[in-house]
Structure 1
Amino acid sequence: MCKVHNSVGCLTTVKTHLKRHNINGFNSLNEVISFQKNFPTLRQQIISDHEQMIEKEKVTLAAEISQLEIAIKTDKAHFENSFLSEIEEVKQKLISLSPSTGLNFIKRFVNYTKRRTYTKKLQDLEANLNNNVNYAIRELVGQHQVKINRNNYITMYFSNAVNESSLQMIKELEHKQRVIDEVKNSIYGALGEHKVVKELENLSDENVLINDFSLSFHPAIYNRQENDYIKSIQIDHLLVTPSGLFLIETKNWSEKSLKSLDLRSPVQQVKRTNFALFKTLTDNISSGRLRLQQHHWGDRKIPIRNLIVLTNSKPNDEFQYVKVLTVSELLNYIGYFKPIFTSAETQTIANYLLNLSD
Structure 2
Amino acid sequence: MAPHEFLCSAKILIVDDDENTLALGKTLLRTAGYTNIITALDSRQVLAHFVEEDPDIVILDVLMPHLNGFQLLELLQRSAPGGLSLPILMMTALPTPEMRHLALVGGAVDLIGKPFTAEDFVLRVRNLLNIRLAFRDVQQQNQVLFAELLNRAEEVADYQLELNEAQLEVIARLAHAGEQRDDQTGKHTQRVAVTSGLIAHGLGFSAGKVEVLQRAAPLHDVGKIGVPDSILLKAGRLTPEEIRSMQQHCAMGSDLLSGGRSEILQLAEDIALSHHEKWDGCGYPRGLRGESIPIEGRILAVADVFDALTHERPYKKAWAVEEAVAEIKLQSGRQFDPQIVEAFMALRHEELV
Under TM normalisation by the shorter chain, which class is it? under 0.3
TM-score normalised by the chain length of structure 1: 0.25
TM-score normalised by the chain length of structure 2: 0.25
Indicate the structure (1 or 2) with the bigger Cα radius of gyration. 1
Higher relative contact order (CA 8 A, sep 6+): 1
